[in-house]
Each structure stands twice: as C-alpha cells, then as structure tokens.
Structure 1
Amino acid sequence: MDDRALVKAIRAIIGSDATDDDCAVIEDGENYLVMSTDMLHETTDFPKGITDYECGWMAAAVTLSDVASMGAAPIALLLAVGVDRAERVEEITRGADACCRAYGCRLMGGDMDAHSECTLVSSGLGRVSRDGLVRRRGAQPGDVVAITGIPGRAQAGLDGYPEYWKALITPRPGVFEGQALGRAGATAMMDVSDGLSISLHDLAEASGVRMDVDEAAIPRPGGVPAEDAARYALFGGGDFGLLFTCPEDVFPVAGVDATCIGRVAEGEGVYLDGEPLAKAGYAHYWE
C-alpha cells in the first residue's frame, strides 16, 4: 500500500474536504485559513552531506510550499524537532527561521524530544481571501496546464550533478507565485514535490478531467543527458514548482515565470504526446 491508497481509507473516515488538497481549509470571516503539516526523516528525506541548517530550511520549505499551492500567504509555522544529539537543535532552528523570514512567515515555537534519527515535523498556517483560494479540484476543459520553475532539478542534484545540489537541499517554495496565481484566477493548483507525472494525475483525478501534455514543452534541467533530463523532469521528486490550470486568456500571469505544458480536456487520465503517462513519482510504501 502507498500513501495515496492510505489517504483514500482516511477519506472514508474524515471526508474528502479534509483530504483532497495540500492544506486543510477553514472559514475565517471574509477569508480562509489553510493549515498543513509535514514529517521529514533523516534516513529517507535528508541526503548525505546536508547540514543541520539546511535540514531546518527544508522542513519549513515543504510546508510553506503546501500553503503556497492554495494561493495563500503564510502566517506562522511550528516545528517539532526529534534529534539524536541536542546540539543539533540550534542550527535546525536557524535554518527553519531563515526560510520562514524569506517568505514573510514567523517561526513561532514547536516541540523537541530525543530520537534515534533526526525527525522534523513542520506545521504551517496561512491566510487567503475567498476569491484567491485555489484547490486541486477546479480545472475545466479548455484550461491551460502550466508549471512554474524547472522540474527535475532536485533529482539531478540527488544524482550527483553539483550545479543542482542547492535546488535539492534549500528548495524555494513558490509562495509569491501562488498568491499571484490565485489572484489571477487559477482554477486548480498543487505543488510538484512528489514529481510532475504523479502530480498531473493527482490534479486530473481531483478535477475529474483529462490532461494532455506536450513533452517537448516541459522544462528540464540543463547540462544533463537528454534521456536523464526528461526522466528527472517527469518523475523526479523534491522540486517545489507549482502545477496549475487556468483559462487561456489568463495565461501568462504577470510576475510569474511559468511554462504552458498542455491543455485540460473532457475525460480522464493524463496523456503525454497522446500516449498514457505512467502515474509514477515519489511515494511512501507499506508492506
């Protein structure tokens, strides 16, 4: 069983509104509050060579990216730190605080305890106007399918391309881009931290539509052999670009560096140059 299958079981208990998006959504007068939480483990999420400061940055970034994918502005973040050595806490906290400050958010405390391996749990809160909220469900036939940034950079860094190491260990969540896209009228959005292919499937399934993607249009990391670059861009995880749909007359959105990679159509599934695209990417598995 993978994590997406497990979410379906959880959905039967707490409902689809609580499980369909990157964040939980709570009514707050004329606005919405959005909340998300993420867990990172040293053995599975932090590559060898990463510093404690960078671990803290990454923990904050993954949650700020979830907030960004809803079109929201981050307000506050809590960080729970489980470490094998107490002296690691200070640098982890400095990294998380620096990431928060870079995106107009405050690190406001958390928790700590002793663990056999470094485990970081970040919980974030954001706010968005009712008109600016973007969910995964909302893509309409005829919409543009687009992505910010260049997918595959983090995977290239993980596979030994030094020019992409920073993209892997200090990812940059699309906080400002997400807000601009929400204001402009994006119809559906999520981040691609688990990979572009699996995210395309997630977005198409949530909206009940088909997505047709042009492989030649997908940005890919330069300086990498063509076959590897294409594979990284489609299936590599760890990137924090935003995958979104919007009406054709909305694209491009001012101030957002994004690439149109396809169109939304009636039907279901994701097709790459007319052929079914495998639903593959980063996932957690249980025996």
Structure 2
Amino acid sequence: MKLLRYGPQGQEKPGLLDAEGRVRDLSGEVADFAGDAVSLEALDRLRGLDVSALPVVEEPGRIGACLASVPNFFCVGLNYAKHAAESGMAIPPEPILFNKATSALSGPFDAVVIPRNSEKSDWEVELGVVIGRECSYVSEAEALDYVAGYCTINDVSERAFQIERGGQWMKGKSAPTFGPTGPYLVTADEVGDPQALRVTLKLNGETVQDSDTSDMIFTVAQIVSHMSQFMKLVPGDIIATGTPSGVGMGMKPQRFLKPGDVMEVEVQGLGAQRQEAVAAS
C-alpha cells in the first residue's frame, strides 16, 4: 500500500493511492496516520479493505507529511561510505545516532524555511524507516519484521548550527520544515530489499546526489537491531538512515541553500518531493 495525507496544513485527511494512481479517502476507516495507526496490525486491517469501495478524492490538493506526528524522529549519521569520505571522517564502528526535533516534520512539497542567522543550510536525501511494533533487543535477522514501511526524507541540516555551535547535532537538524517526509508511506511488503533503492537529489535541476542504499555502511536491519539494544522503538517512530555523497558541505567550494533554490528529492519506489527554499520571515 501507498498511504498518504492530503489537505491544507493542519487539516490533512488520510488516504490511499489505488492501482490507477487515484487518491482514495480513508478518513472513514482511520483518524490519521500516527502511532498505533501505523502499527503492523492496523496496516493489516487496511489491507483487508475493498479499495474500490472507498471514495475517490478528485482533487486532493496539497499532500502533507505521510505521518501526522512521530513519537521520535531518529537519524543515523555518516552512514554512506562515500559521504563519510567526502566529509573527511572515518567509517564509524557503530551507527551514529541522533535526533531531529519532531516539530521539524514537514510536507514533501512545502517550502523549506532557512532559519534566522543561517549561513550553511544543506540538503540530504535519505531513506526513511517507519517502525510498526514495539521493538526491544531484536536480532538483525528479526529486525525487518518490525518495520511498517518506508518513505522519502530530506534531512535538511544547518551545518554551522550542527558542527560549529557545540552540543549535539540536533541543533542543526531541527528547525521547522527541516524534515520533509513522504509523499507516501509505502508498506514494507511493496518495497522488497531496502538495500537496493536508488536515492537522488537535484538542486535547481542539477543532480547533486545520486547513489543507492547498497552504499550504506549499516543496513536497515543492522540499524533497527542496534537501536533496539539501547531503547524501545514504538509504532510510528521514524528513522532517517543517512545520506549519500553530494551534500553541499562536501563540495569544493562548499555550496549551501539560498532563497529560491529548489530541491527535488526521491527514493526509488517511495515517491518524489519538491521543496523551494525561502528565507525566514
């Protein structure tokens, strides 16, 4: 299934993309997509619906983030070998974990707001993983059984806030609109191998990131298993699994977002995003 949320910001309704590419209204079946509503059990119930009986949404308009809210917005740093190389950093022996503020969650076509005092706002296409059931101390072999689905994420980052201002990376990761997510939550059964997906990002029409998830240092299964040794993952948690080479920080000379820049972000099979960067008001 490809699940989505449509409508004005703050008034989104849950929907489903049918085989003909039409949006079907799910608001009579589920209040919204968040928490237990994206558990494996809840998704199994949705699979049992007669899609042809659901109302067609003729003009869905704006597409929102595929999740209404998230209990936790986790991220993995330096998880592509070529990205670690362009950053001049060693391959980490274990996944580097950090958080984005959950308030960074944003729609896939909403503007990205460059925060006040920003000098180094950057782009990062990433494969997103959505957890489907409580997950503690799971093995790598079992880990993918806890995944509800996958989505496209742009882990927008302010590098000066992240690296030069002390403290944890989340300071540079958490501005409002810094977490465009979606357009779809694609259930795991439709994705297949999460380590065989092309990930791309265009800036003003120029391809700057073009890789695939086989370059990930730690696989999705390794990440979920590793995280579950230290914390309980819960339904609706989202994990951004790292970005490939081609970010602005790694360019020579470095290149960062400015108002009017347009990012086109895609993970194979999970849908494409488009955001324009705008200055903070």
Into which bin does the TM-score normalised by the smaller protein fall?
under 0.3
* TM-score normalized by the length of structure 1: 0.26
The structure with more helix, counted as a fraction of residues: 1
Larger RCO, structure (CA 8 Å, separation 6 or more): 2
* TM-score normalized by the length of structure 2: 0.27
